[in-house]
Structure 1
Amino acid sequence: MDAAVMHSALVTGTGLMGTSVALALRAHDVTVHLRDVDSAALRTAASLGAGTVQAPTEAVDLAIVAVPPPLVGRVLADIQAEGLARHYTDVASVKVEPQHDAIALDCDTSQYIGGHPMAGASRSGPLTARADLFEGRMWALTPTADTDTETLNMALELVALCGAVPVLMQAAAHDRAVALVSHAPHVVASLVAMRLEHAEEREVSLAGPGLRDLTRIAEADPRLWLDILSANAGAVADLLDEVRSDLDRTVVGLRAIAATDEAKRRSGAEVVESMLRKGRSGRARISGKHGTQPERFEVVAVAIGDQPGELARLFADVERAGINIEDVRIEHATSQLTGLVHVSVAPGLTVPLREALQARGWRLR
């Protein structure tokens, strides 16, 4: 396939995703035109340097539709009717519904390819946008039955300019996959977080990093997630049915462990241990950085104060030691203005890192 070169683009929808795409393209000197029914969001995105609010005077190379899934088909039909671009894509988090809508609305699907960058944030809006939001992230591309090769190439160029990793798949396969790795987990996280809404303050005060990690995604905008779940409701419901069956078995196992009969206790323990082992095995399958196989890292825990710049100073000292940070997790102390920074590094580097940090006055745990 011939390589495509993008000189101009139109981004319709200036929320987190659209503005982030626009900022990434502007970083590569692509001329970006912005469009949004929300004039305040449009002005904000433009003020951030994401592009111009002026309409293009000729068809751009690629139009990126960055609106909620139920709106993708209609917006695509409208901008195709205006002849605003030579090729079209979207960044919606589900793909079957937009593709069906595009066909039903007689869009030119030869010039359209679905897209979904696997990136985001708990808060929406242009002010949360970042040019590097997609760096190293997977970006699913879902061609229609007649997507033109040039359109595919232009979408691949978009993914490359955003620093992401392309994955081609069918729309239905994509929706089943995101139900598994994103949509159903969001529902489960929200269900766990629901238990906290009316809990006693003393109970909630005992929450640690495990609960924070588990419920972090429950912070996201409920209206946005209702759109996402509504567009993929069947696949998510199927998965939650399976989770419910597993949960029912686990509850029975736990009840048995609480019994006085020793045989029941042993039987219940086997059920619960099997669940925990399978959970650990499944967790190990999650990809590492850039979609690679998961790696085993070693961790150095560093005590850190709440003063401004402390985290940056720690990272700088790790860099001076000539060691790359593979991952980082921050654990805040409940009642003190301190915390622990868990720095993950490649195996064999913990000893030199500990020595280097201790030499610079850091307290290690």
Structure 2
Amino acid sequence: MRTALVLGTGLIGTSAALALTQRGVVVHLADHDPEQARTAAALGAGTDEAPAGPVDLALVAAPPAHVAAVLADAMGRGLARGYVDVASVKGGPRRELEARGLDLSSYIGTHPMSGREKSGPLAATADLFEGRPWVLTPTRDTDTEVLNLALELVSHCRAVPVVMDADAHDRAVALVSHMPHLVSSLVAARLENAEEAAVRLCGQGIRDVTRIAASDPRMWIDILSANPGPVADLLADVSTDLDDTVRALRALQSSDEAKRREGSAGIEDVLRRGNAGQVRVPGKHGSAPRVYEVVAVLIDDQPGQLARIFADAGQAGVNVEDVRIEHATGQQAGLVQLMVEPKAVPVLTAALRERGWALRQ
């Protein structure tokens, strides 16, 4: 791939353009909002000038509802040798293209499983997709050359290619992305009119649960409108679990010992099923999750604190597998939780204490 055209310079399109440009691909940028394309170009994602002729690959980064129309227009004008889209749903756009009677041998639907709460070109980064799954949905009609171009795109973005059927993909993202987003929003909505005293008690748990609720509602309306059936089916199952959980909690309020035992068993059931589901979430590098120990360090809110901790851990020969930061409400301090292999805990603890860090249990 030597040339590419990115149609849609939001977060995903601009991030892909930045990655391609860094790998030496000449990238042309276009958007329904020319100012957005100019912003992406100013960030080094490519040029907003139109290509002189067909490019090797056209990447459509439009909302799901508009993907088919943008692709049909690009294919009708012969803008590229191959075409991909990066919409978060795959079955609907392909069926719409088929209904338009287009030759789809030059097209393959794709979906990078990466994003941020922020949108637009200013939120883009060249490493947005690094190490993340990038789904490809080829069919028997897909030309081998186009599949190879899509694989090259994934490679340039340092993502991990995953081949799936389009409808299977849509059911999967409903489970791991679309439904969780709505649940996060439902939980966050409880905070809107909550008392200030209650909100001030927010800790890392509520921050983790509600983080993705900060995303742009307009973008998510487009996404959910393109995949409503599978998401509704999953939410119906969640609703059943919620009804059962509410009944179990009400039973715990009963003066009848048998009902309280029944309620306790119901709560234990949902919690254990939650445990069983959580351990299936892939861990580092996509492997099965591993159990790490936590070394908690109290830090001041000053520049360079995190860098010092990581440097001290490195000098002790300890690899930090993951890190979380819990901010102290109303204070210029925080608790850094370093996740490490269990055998590394004594080494790291001794090294950090020796260097003057305040550790917490």
State the TM bucket, normalised to the shorter chain: over 0.9
Unaligned runs of 5+ in 1: 1-5
Report if the CA contact (8 A) 1:73-1:105 is conserved: no
Distance in 1 of aligned mates of 2:36 and 2:314: 38
Match of 1:252 among 225, 247, 250: 247
Find the counterpart in structure 2 of residue 224 from structure 1: 219
Deviations 1:5-61 (A, max 9, x none): x21111111110001001111111111111111122111111111001111122211
Match of 1:18 among 13, 38, 41: 13
Alignment of 1:184-203 (within 5 A): 184-203=179-198
Find the counterpart in structure 1 of residue 139 from structure 2: 144
Deviations 1:222-271 (A, max 9, x none): 00000001100011000000000111111111111110100100011011
The normalised TM-score by structure 2 is: 0.97
Distance in 2 of aligned mates of 1:63 and 1:214: 36
Alignment of 1:121-270 (within 5 A): 121-270=116-265
Distance in 2 of aligned mates of 1:353 and 1:253: 43
Find the counterpart in structure 1 of residue 286 from structure 2: 291
Alignment of 1:307-346 (within 5 A): 307-346=302-341
Q: Shift in Å at residue 200 of structure 1?
A: 0.6
Q: Which moved more, 1:324-333 or 1:141-150?
A: 141-150
Q: Secondary structure at the match of 1:109?
A: coil
Distance in 2 of aligned mates of 1:79 and 1:321: 56
Amino acid at match of 1:237: A
Q: Secondary structure at the match of 1:348?
A: helix
Q: Which moved more, 1:219-228 or 1:322-331?
A: 322-331
Q: Secondary structure at the match of 2:161?
A: strand
Find the counterpart in structure 1 of residue 268 from structure 2: 273
Identical aligned pairs, as a percentage? Answer: 62
Report if the CA contact (8 A) 1:74-1:105 is conserved: no
Amino acid at match of 1:197: E
Distance in 1 of aligned mates of 2:26 and 2:91: 30
Q: Shift in Å at residue 122 of structure 1?
A: 0.3
Q: Shift in Å at residue 145 of structure 1?
A: 4.1
What's the Cα RMSD here? 1.2
Distance in 1 of aligned mates of 2:33 and 2:357: 48
Q: Shift in Å at residue 291 of structure 1?
A: 2.0
CA 1:320–1:105 in structure 2 vs 1: closer, same or farther (change >3 Å)?
farther
Alignment of 1:20-39 (within 5 A): 20-39=15-34
Distance in 2 of aligned mates of 1:138 and 1:80: 27
Alignment of 1:77-96 (within 5 A): 77-96=72-91
Find the counterpart in structure 2 of residue 305 from structure 1: 300
Q: Shift in Å at residue 317 of structure 1?
A: 2.5
Match of 1:353 among 331, 345, 348: 348
Q: Shift in Å at residue 106 of structure 1?
A: 2.9
Distance in 1 of aligned mates of 2:321 and 2:100: 46
Deviations 1:134-175 (A, max 9, x none): 111011111134111111111111111111111111111001
Amino acid at match of 2:69: R
Q: Secondary structure at the match of 1:355?
A: helix
Report if the CA contact (8 A) 1:138-1:291 is conserved: no
Unaligned runs of 5+ in 2: none
Distance in 2 of aligned mates of 1:102 and 1:322: 55
Deviations 1:256-314 (A, max 9, x none): 11101001000110111011001011001000123221122221111111112222222
Report if the CA contact (8 A) 1:77-1:106 is conserved: no
Amino acid at match of 2:215: A
Q: Secondary structure at the match of 1:102?
A: helix
Q: Shift in Å at residue 105 of structure 1?
A: 2.4
